[in-house]
């Protein structure tokens, strides 16, 4: 079981993604704002952050940059979930420091495959991408 931080402001999306991750056997902590998510990431240890990009206040890309700037969370994998699926958005998301992204509406098999890929990439002896 891996410990995942889900940062999502929309309660319905948070419930759907959270239920999906729990059914896959993961322990989950949830935050509804980037600032709350950053505080949790600094206070606890996680294996992965699932980060919504469009958040009120501090957005998900800024939050990812802040996580990358901190020694404790620099190597923490971040999976972006976004309604932005236009050409160039993926590159922008990856350049901001996210390790992967999936577009909303979420295709659950694709989402869980990307979660598994990022969790495996963070384990010793596992190849990235």
pLDDT in tens, 39-75: 999 999 999 999 999 999 999 999 999 999 999 999 9
* Tokens found for residue 16: 């759907």
Query: Do residues 64 and 98 make contact, with C-beta atoms less than 8 angstroms apart?
Result: yes
Which residue segments constitute the domains of the chain, with CATH numbers given? 3-121 (3.40.50.2300)
3-class secondary structure, 43: helix
Per-position pLDDT tens, the chain of length 129: 899 999 999 999 999 999 999 999 999 999 999 999 999 999 999 999 999 999 999 999 999 999 999 999 999 999 999 886 677 788 889 999 999 999 988 999 999 999 999 999 876 543 333
Q: Write out the DSSP string of 52-107.
A: ESS-SSS-HHHHHHHHHHSTTTTT--EEEEES--STTHHHHHHHTT-SEEEESSP-
pLDDT of residue 123: 65
C-alpha count within 13 angstroms, C-beta hemisphere, residue 56: 5
């Amino acid at each position: 079981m891996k410990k995942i931080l889900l940062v999502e402001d929309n309660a319905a999306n948070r419930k759907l993604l959270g239920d999906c991750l729990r059914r896959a056997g993961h322990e989950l902590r949830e935050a509804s704002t980037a600032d709350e998510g950053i505080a949790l990431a600094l206070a606890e240890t996680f294996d992965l952050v699932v980060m919504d990009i469009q958040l009120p206040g501090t957005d998900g890309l800024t939050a990812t940059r802040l996580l990358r700037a901190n020694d404790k969370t620099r190597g923490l994998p971040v999976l972006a979930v976004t309604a932005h699926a236009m050409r160039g958005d993926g590159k922008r998301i990856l350049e901001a420091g996210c390790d992967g992204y999936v577009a909303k509406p979420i295709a659950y098999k694709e989402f869980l495959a990307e979660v598994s890929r990022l969790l495996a990439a963070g384990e010793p002896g596992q190849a990235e991408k």
